Amino acid sequence: MAALLELDNVSVHFAGLKALTGVSLQARPGEIKAVIGPNGAGKTTLFNVISGYVGATGGAITFQGQRIHGLTPHEIAAKGVRRTFQNGGLFGEMTALENVLTGLHSQIDSGFTGLLFGTRAARAAEREAVSRARRLLDLVGIGHVADQPAKDLSGGQQRMVEIVRTLAVDPPLLLLDEPAVGLAPPVRDRLMEIIRRLAGEEGVSILLIEHAIDLVMKASDVIVVLNAGQKIAEGRPEEIRRDRDVLEAYLGRG
């Protein structure tokens, strides 16, 4: 299957600090690819350069066959590369439903005048957006909290809302930055089930940063290992388990 996203020999340097050096990888539709490594390995920098928050010093990044390095985060997101962040970023006073609707605003194509005067097209677009948001919340098992303020939800529920908001526009590629951090084991397992379902049933390509190695091994199709800004291994979970360089650099610690 053709690659959706491709990084070719990508490097990111900050004033002499080599955050990434010559990293190449691909992401394919319906595939879950985890990115792991010790602190400072370059995982977040990798997500930042893909999503346009930092610039590449060298190499090339293409998405659906088009160059995206050098574009702004907004331009890259508009092409279908969507991302969650470690710190969430929900609007606490808004309900779960309203937070998801903020992710759908770009698809409500009824124009300012229609929204201002409440035209039939505007009302229909709004109804469809609300219906889609509720369906997505039901999909991840939190439809019952749709009308509750985000600040009153549990950490796991807030994480689900953030993921749903990202999914609202049907992105072909989803970057998940530590989605399970701080979650209780049952909630983490439920989250990983949903991630597998999104890839398997919806065909979403998922790049995943996660420190919980047990979850990575269960949820991922392929694992990429970074260390000191370089890719030191890539393979299926059972291959990564046996990789001597990985065990020395990361999995064997502690």
Please tell me whether residues 98 and 146 are part of one structural domain: yes
180 and 102 in a single domain? The answer is no
Same domain, 211 and 184: yes
Domain-located, residue 145: yes
Condensed to tens digits (0 to 9), the pLDDT of residues 79-96 reads 999 998 766 678 999 999
Amino acid found at 145: V
- Examine residue 141 and state whether it is found in any structural domain, yes or no: yes
Question: Is 162 a domain residue?
Answer: no
Indicate whether 160 belongs to any domain. no
3-state secondary structure 84-149: CCCCCCCCCCCEHHHHHHHHHHHHCCCHHHHHHHCCHHHHHHHHHHHHHHHHHHHHCCCHHHCCCE
Assigned domain for 248 exists: yes
Q: Which of 127, 154, 181 is the last residue of a domain?
A: 154
Please check whether residues 230 and 114 belong to one and the same domain.
no
Are 36 and 112 in a shared domain? no
pLDDT (tens digit per residue) in 105-155: 655 554 544 555 566 776 787 888 899 899 889 888 899 999 999 999 988
145, 245: one domain: no
My answer on whether 57 and 35 are in the same domain is yes
Examine the domain organization and report whether 242 and 199 are in the same domain: yes
Instruction: Compute CA distances 180 → 76, 77, 94, 158, whole Å.
Output: 25, 23, 23, 11
Does any domain span residue 219?
yes
The tens digit of pLDDT for each residue in 23-46 reads 999 999 999 999 999 989 999 999
In this structure, the answer to whether residues 122 and 190 fall within a common structural domain is no
Q: Does 227 reside within a domain?
A: yes
Residue 6 lies in a domain: no
Residues facing 236 on adjacent strands: none
| 76 and 148 together in one domain | no
Q: What is the mean pLDDT of the chain?
A: 88
Name the pTM for this structure.
0.84
What is the domain range of residue 107? 91-154
Q: How many domains does the chain have?
A: 2
Residues 128 and 177 in one domain: no
CATH code where residue 192 lies: 3.40.50.300
User: Which of 115-129, 181-195, 219-233 has the weakest average pLDDT?
Assistant: 115-129
253 with 187, same domain? yes
Burial of 112 (0-12, 13-18, 19+ CB in 10 A): exposed
b/e burial code for range 71-100 (CB count within 10 A of at least 16 → b): beeeebbeebbbbbeeeeebeeebbbbbbb
Q: Which residue has the higher pLDDT, 227 or 183?
A: 227
